Amino acid sequence: MAKALVERVLNEVGVKGEIVETFKGEELEGVRYVHILVEEYPAQKEFREKYEWAHRVILGEHVTLEDGTGLVHTAPGHGEEDFEIGQRYGLPVYSPLDDQGKYTEGKWKGIYVKEADPEIIEHLREKGYLVKAGEIEHKYPHCWRCKTPLIFRATDQWFLKVSKVKDKIIKENDEKVTWYPDWVKVRYDNGVMNSGDWVISRQRYWGIPLPIWQAEDGEIYVVGSFEELVKLAVAIEVNGERIDLPESYEEKLRVIEERLGPEDLHRPYVDAFIIKVNGKEMKRVKDVVDVWFDSGIASWASLDYPRNKELFEKLWPADFIVEGEDQVTKWFYSQQAASVIAFDTVPYRAVAMHGYVLDEKGDKMSKSLGNIIRPEEVVQKEGRDPFRFYMLWATNPWENLRFSWKGLEQVKRMLNILWNVYVLSATYMSLDNFDPTKLKPEELPFRKEDRWILSRVNSLVGEVTEGIETFRLTKATRAIYNFVVEDLSRWYIRLIRKRMWVEGDDPDKLAAYYTVWKVFDVLLRLMAPFTPYIAEEIYQNLLRPFTGVESVHMLDWPKADEKAIDGELEREMEYVRKIVEAGSSARQKARIKLRYPVRRIIIETEEETVKKAVERLNRLLKDQLNAKEVAVGKVERELIIKPNFAKVGPEFKGDAKLVSQWISEHGRELYEKGEVDVEIEGKTFHLTREHITVEEKLPDFLVAEEFEGGRVFVDKTLTRELLAEGVAREFVRRIQEMRKRLDLDVNDRIVVAIETTDENRELLQENLDYIMRETRAVEVRFEEARGYVVEWPEVQAKIGIEKV
RNA sequence: GGGCCCGUGGCUCAGCCUGGUCAGAGCGCCCGCCUGAUAAGCGGGAGGUCCGGGGUUCGAAGCCCCGCGGGCCCA
């Protein structure tokens, strides 16, 4: 008995005892004991004589100190661990149970094991062998489907000796297969190393029958085809009746068809064949093949190989397979194992492993938890394209995805933005009967921003292509997402809107149209695999009339036009956007609305790229910042130096006041020298920059904001001219709002009447032409508002408009 | 018990391979702006012990080791 268990066991049994000797368990190895049921089971007597290690203590590492005594009974016929250790000691695999769980011999022959238990206990008690009987709770295997307890029983099975080709599998896999993500390969290799031979037989009815025929003496023959089966057949058994077959193949076939039916390589058809090999009659082994074997041969079975060799030679091995992470040691493996056995090589060239879809909280979706979201529901509520894009965009494919409706909303928003860009462009293009095939791009006056977005979209081709090729679909979809939202909508479209409003055959406008068209030409092809429907819809309307190709899905995958890529320009634009953002922020601080122009914006920077950007993209900056001038420069500012009381106080205590006063007067000197010894009222003080705080003071008319490459200063000096322009825009904006409320057509003309303050009137008069042009007004009068009248308290005005 | 993966603001995630660019985005929240893409759009702000602990390094969210929590597979 194990020392650690002595007390517990004695307690349980209710016996007093003491430890007389302690020694290692291994000293017991080989000690012979008498089997307690040796009389009831004659086979045990035989074992005792025939097997050296039968009924002896053996050693095993699977015995624990958690339950029992430290000694366990080993039954190699009823449990995997027992079987393995039994093999090590050369023990017989004894399993006197039939398929029903009933004893096949011995005292309890014919009785179901569980029913025999109490009888056996009673029997042992009578014989005086029983110390204690009781119940112990422990884990026990159950049927995964019907949940009934299982009884382990050693049986004869057919194996594929995969251990013989393991090294080959790993080697072939190493050399020929790319795994995405690459670390799955490690997982796979570990799995292969740990796996044993493959049990391919199953005692079922449905399935692929094992093509093995066996003679009474055990000799086997594996039949390779229906034709071979017929050739070897000497008889068939139909309804228990043996029908001997004629000699010739054709006649055999006729008899078989007549008595058994047409060719069918399933049970019970194949079971009927009795073949003759080496002069012995053989019958089929009744087992069917493990379904994992079916899956293992999928790569060629699906090509109808070996019956059809043509497809196989053309398509095999497969380029790519994809499955969930539970299949690493299952389908990915069954295919390689079967293929290496059959062809000495692996059946695919790339594997992609994906994770699962979990619910929002990260729990597995399951019926019992009631957290299942059906794909159909998602498709119906949000659409196929958003769903598809979302799945690839939300997390890396190999990671688990926490499904979130909000995430889906976000993707929808992006697609909506794309749709808006398309609608806007298409509206203006069709108004102008835009036809890209009639234009010569080399003659169009492209602006910097046009070249920029073309550069960006070509860079995007590279990003998306790389993402797809390396299975980093999240990278690809995120690159598309950012391009659509940031580059195309938020920036490019914003920049070209005014150009699109120009009437007539303006080359500047055509350049913008052409650019947008070109961007869509590339972008739609990039998006086609991710959002096939929306890509196709836009393609049909915007591109197909000019490309003539029936569908976006029939176009070639785009190649990046290296000549169009201008990294320098992209970097400069990056800065321009940052400058505009900082400028807007500065305006917000100064409370100057974007409608009011500012006199000047100064950029302070050390970076060459920023300087170049300000120079080359100046028009763009002025436009977006609504500034009369944007320039790189240096802003003079005043330094305010104050004593740092937090330092000065504790250090100089009683003299702090004196020191502070000195700093207030001579701070500049200290700041410039860095440190200084000063004598005040006979005392010397050592002062450093630590003792001061430095603030920069800008001139009152400037407001500053930092950005990554420097600082932006907005000159907020408001001249009368600037004010007049701002006010004009205020009114234009409101008249436009009214036009919209009246649902006027873009081309409708109006008459405007304004009642407002004298101040406003004078200011407005300075920009009357501008107001009329922008609002399509034939006249602006300062008189009683008529027609559609709205009062606008924010600008102290009452405006009336009438359509003419 | 073993192998592999994941753990970053309230939420969902980038970044990690190839250490250094104040740690990024979206959603939500707060404050603004713009408006002939309009039942849209844009900007700004607040908000983070980068799971914990050691180590390597001039420097670690990132590399190494040990834990903790979750997922998958195997035993």
CA A359 to C1' B9 (Å) is 22
Task: Report the pLDDT averaged over residues A566-595.
Answer: 81
A260 touches strand B (CB under 7 A): no
A161 touches strand B (CB under 7 A): no
The phi-psi region of residue A591 (left if phi > 0; otherwise alpha if psi is between -120 and 50; otherwise beta) is: left
CA A41 to C1' B73 (Å) is 42
Q: Whose C1' is closest to the CA of A733: which nucleotide?
A: B35
A470 touches strand B (CB under 7 A): no
A619 touches strand B (CB under 7 A): no
Looking at residue A689, what is its pLDDT? 65
Over the stretch A293-309, which tens digit does the pLDDT of each residue have? 999 999 999 999 988 99
**H or E element at residue A697:** strand A692-697
Written in H, E and C, the secondary structure of A390-414 is HHHHHCCCCCCEECCHHHHHHHHHH
Residues lying close to strand B (Cβ under 7 A), chosen from 637-666 of chain A, are: none
Q: Is the dihedral of CA A703, A705, A710, A712 positive or negative?
A: negative
Task: Report the pLDDT averaged over residues A543-569.
Answer: 90
Residue A527 has pLDDT above 70, yes or no: yes
CA A158 to C1' B70 (Å) is 39
How do strand A750-756 and strand A777-781 relate by DSSP bridges?
Answer: parallel
Radius of gyration of chain A (CA): 44
Residue A435 has pLDDT above 70, yes or no: yes
Q: Which residue is nearest to nucleotide B6 (CA to C1')?
A: A399
Is the pLDDT higher at A759 or at A689?
A759
Residues lying close to strand B (Cβ under 7 A), chosen from 536-595 of chain A, are: 581, 584-585, 588, 593-595
Residue A165 has pLDDT above 70, yes or no: yes
DSSP secondary structure code for residue A363 in this structure = P
**pLDDT level of residue A696 (50, 70, 90 thresholds):** low
Tell me the three state secondary structure of residue A607: coil
Residue A747 has pLDDT above 70, yes or no: yes
Residue A634 has pLDDT above 90, yes or no: no
Least confident of A36-45, A137-146, A308-317, A396-405: A137-146
Over the stretch A186-213, which tens digit does the pLDDT of each residue have? 888 888 888 888 999 998 889 999 999 9
Task: Report the pLDDT averaged over residues A791-796.
Answer: 81
CA A249 to C1' B20 (Å) is 81
Instruction: Quote the tokens at residue A467.
Output: 């993402």
CA A585 to C1' B32 (Å) is 10
Instruction: Quote the tokens at residue A566.
Output: 């201008």
Looking at residue A250, what is its pLDDT? 93
Rounded-to-integer distance, Cα A170 and Cα A712, Å: 61
CA A180 to C1' B57 (Å) is 32
Mean per-residue pLDDT of chain A = 85
Q: Can you give the residue ranges of every domain in chain A?
A: 3-127, 159-200+292-354, 202-289, 385-565, 570-636+700-715, 638-697, 720-803
A139 touches strand B (CB under 7 A): no
| CATH 3.90.740.10 applies to domain A3-127 | yes
| CATH 3.30.2320 applies to domain A720-803 | yes
* Nearest partner of A232 among A264, A269, A279, A267, judged by Cα: A279
Least confident of A98-102, A361-365, A568-572, A699-703: A361-365
Instruction: Quote the tokens at residue A455.
Output: 């550069």
Cα torsion through A568, A573, A576, A580, rounded to 10:
-170
DSSP per residue, A211-279: -EEEETTS-EEE---HHHHHHHEEEEEETTEEEE--SSHHHHHHHHHHHH-S---STTGGGGEEEEETT
CA A447 to C1' B64 (Å) is 53
The phi-psi region of residue A30 (left if phi > 0; otherwise alpha if psi is between -120 and 50; otherwise beta) is: left
Residue A786 has pLDDT above 70, yes or no: yes
Rounded-to-integer distance, Cα A13 and Cα A15, Å: 6
Point out which residues pair with A693 in neighbouring strands: A642
Class of A638-697 per CATH? alpha beta
Rounded-to-integer distance, Cα A130 and Cα A114, Å: 18
Cβ atoms of residues A705 and A711 within 8 Å: yes
Cα A178 to Cα A174, A312, A348, A353, distances in angstroms: 8, 21, 9, 11
Task: Report the pLDDT averaged over residues A549-555.
Answer: 94
Looking at residue A498, what is its pLDDT? 80
Q: Whose C1' is closest to the CA of A708: which nucleotide?
A: B21
A749 touches strand B (CB under 7 A): no
Residue A119 has pLDDT above 70, yes or no: yes
**pLDDT level of residue A392 (50, 70, 90 thresholds):** confident
**Residue appearing with tokens 């025939």:** A50
CA A359 to C1' B69 (Å) is 18
Tell me the three state secondary structure of residue A627: strand
Residue A278 has pLDDT above 90, yes or no: yes
Burial A206-243 (b: 16+ CB within 10 A, else e): ebbbbbbbebeeeeebebeeeeebbebbbbbbeeeeee
CA A194 to C1' B74 (Å) is 8
Q: Whose C1' is closest to the CA of A421: which nucleotide?
A: B37
Looking at residue A279, what is its pLDDT? 93
Looking at residue A381, what is its pLDDT? 83
Tell me the three state secondary structure of residue A155: coil
Cβ atoms of residues A604 and A633 within 8 Å: yes
* A240 Cα distance to chain centroid: 58
Task: Report the pLDDT averaged over residues A72-80.
Answer: 84
Bases of chain B below 7 A from a protein C-beta are 3-6, 11-15, 22, 26-27, 32-38, 40-45, 70-75
* Nearest partner of A583 among A701, A712, A710, judged by Cα: A712
Q: Whose C1' is closest to the CA of A184: which nucleotide?
A: B4
Tell me the three state secondary structure of residue A790: strand
- Among A152-166, A354-368, A569-583, the range with the most confident prediction by mean pLDDT is A152-166
Task: Report the pLDDT averaged over residues A148-167.
Answer: 86
On the CB side of A578, CA atoms within 13 Å amount to 19
Domains A570-636+700-715 and A720-803 share a fold: yes
Residue A643 has pLDDT above 70, yes or no: no
Looking at residue A13, what is its pLDDT? 85
Rounded-to-integer distance, Cα A393 and Cα A530, Å: 10
Interior angle at CA A564, CA A561 and CA A568, nearest 5: 130
Rounded-to-integer distance, Cα A320 and Cα A330, Å: 16
Q: Which residue is nearest to nucleotide B75 (CA to C1')?
A: A194
Looking at residue A296, what is its pLDDT? 93
Point out which residues pair with A160 in neighbouring strands: A198
Residue A139 has pLDDT above 70, yes or no: no
DSSP per residue, A718-767: --HHHHHHHHHHHHHHHHHHHHHHTT--TT--EEEEEEE-HHHHHHHHTT
Residues lying close to strand B (Cβ under 7 A), chosen from 753-772 of chain A, are: none
Residues lying close to strand B (Cβ under 7 A), chosen from 379-408 of chain A, are: 394-396, 398-402, 404, 406-407
Residue A668 has pLDDT above 80, yes or no: no
On the CB side of A601, CA atoms within 13 Å amount to 31
Q: Which residue is nearest to nucleotide B28 (CA to C1')?
A: A406
Any idea which architecture A385-565 has in CATH? Orthogonal Bundle (1.10)
Residue A147 has pLDDT above 80, yes or no: no
* Nearest partner of A742 among A656, A802, A685, A698, judged by Cα: A802
A326 touches strand B (CB under 7 A): yes
Residue A418 has pLDDT above 80, yes or no: yes
CA A708 to C1' B20 (Å) is 17
Rounded-to-integer distance, Cα A648 and Cα A530, Å: 65
Backbone angles phi, psi at A211, to 5 degrees: -85, 45
How is domain A570-636+700-715 classified at the CATH fold level?
A: hypothetical protein PF0899 fold (3.30.2320)
CB atoms under 10 Å from CB of A729, counted, come to 20
Residue A382 has pLDDT above 90, yes or no: no
**Residue appearing with tokens 């109808």:** A304
Looking at residue A651, what is its pLDDT? 66
Instruction: Quote the tokens at residue A385.
Output: 């394209």
Cβ atoms of residues A131 and A70 within 8 Å: no
Residue A688 has pLDDT above 80, yes or no: no
* Nearest partner of A393 among A415, A377, A362, A369, judged by Cα: A415
Rounded-to-integer distance, Cα A729 and Cα A719, Å: 16
Give the start-end residues of each E strand in A268-369.
273-277, 280-284, 288-289, 321-324, 350-354, 357-358
Residue A553 has pLDDT above 90, yes or no: yes
